[in-house]
Amino acid sequence: MYEQKILENDWLYSKIANVANRLVGFDYLADDIKKIREKYEYECYYADVMKLENVAIEQKFDIIVCGELIEHIENPGLMLDGIKRFMNDDRILIITTPNPWSKNRIKLIQSGNLENKWLNKEHVCWYSFETLKQLLERKGFEEVNYTYSYAENKGSENKTDFSIIKLLKKIKKYLIYKITPEYLFDGLFFVAKMRK
């Protein structure tokens, strides 16, 4: 899956690598980590994020990003506890996760297509802003900022095709998102730090 995202210039890891002085990644897919290290020369390690105490890295990091991860973890509290060892008081944690109550997902629920059109078989839970905030507070974090985001429908659109129909569709989409309340957007973007 990451290879397709790389081809589409949509892989979060490579986007962060373009702006970070140093980037360290963890994943539980050992074969993929080997390929990533060899082919892209990224610094990534095999790790279970619910057992970060077993990771042989002692450094602290300015920013820790859990991009579209927390909804896959059966015990996110263990992950959040483990993350703290890599943070100082002034460091931040960024979590992104799908918004199950987005406008698009509500439409899928209404049409009876949520199960076969959106649900990922690897997801074990969903978070709203309030449930994620509650989890973070229980684990010793405090909210710094949050927002909702929406995903662009990438498709295979030809970027050089400026037909009037495509232009009108883009304008319509822009206007719909301009008048849609942000809590109906597709994703949640949450920034937190450790509570002092």
For residue 74, the domain's CATH number is: 3.40.50.150
Residue 152, domain member (yes or no): yes
Structural domain contains residue 40: no
92-98 β-sheet, strand order: 63-67, 92-98, 187-194, 141-149
Which pair of structure tokens corresponds to residue 96?
Answer: 């992104």
In tens, the pLDDT along 136-150 reads: 999 999 988 888 775
Overall number of domains in the chain: 1
Whether residue 76 is contained in a domain is answered as: yes
Cα separation, 25 vs 47, in Å, equals 9
Tokens of 113: 């297509």
pTM score, whole prediction: 0.78
Determine contact, residues 3/22, Cβ cutoff 8 Å. no
In a domain, 1, yes or no: no
Its domain, for residue 185, covers 47-194
36 within some domain = no
More confident residue, 49 or 10: 49
User: Is residue 130 assigned to a domain?
Assistant: yes
pLDDT > 80? residue 168 = no
Residue 8 within any structural domain of the chain: no
Q: For the purposes of burial, counting CB atoms within 10 Å of the CB of 101, is it exposed (0-12), middle (13-18) or buried (19 or more)?
A: middle
pLDDT of residue 127: 93
Is 116 within the bounds of a domain? yes
Phi-psi region of 83 (alpha: psi -120 to 50; beta: other; left: phi over 0): alpha
Helix axes 129-138, 76-83, angle to 10 degrees: 60
Torsion of CA 100, 46, 16, 120, to 10 degrees: -20
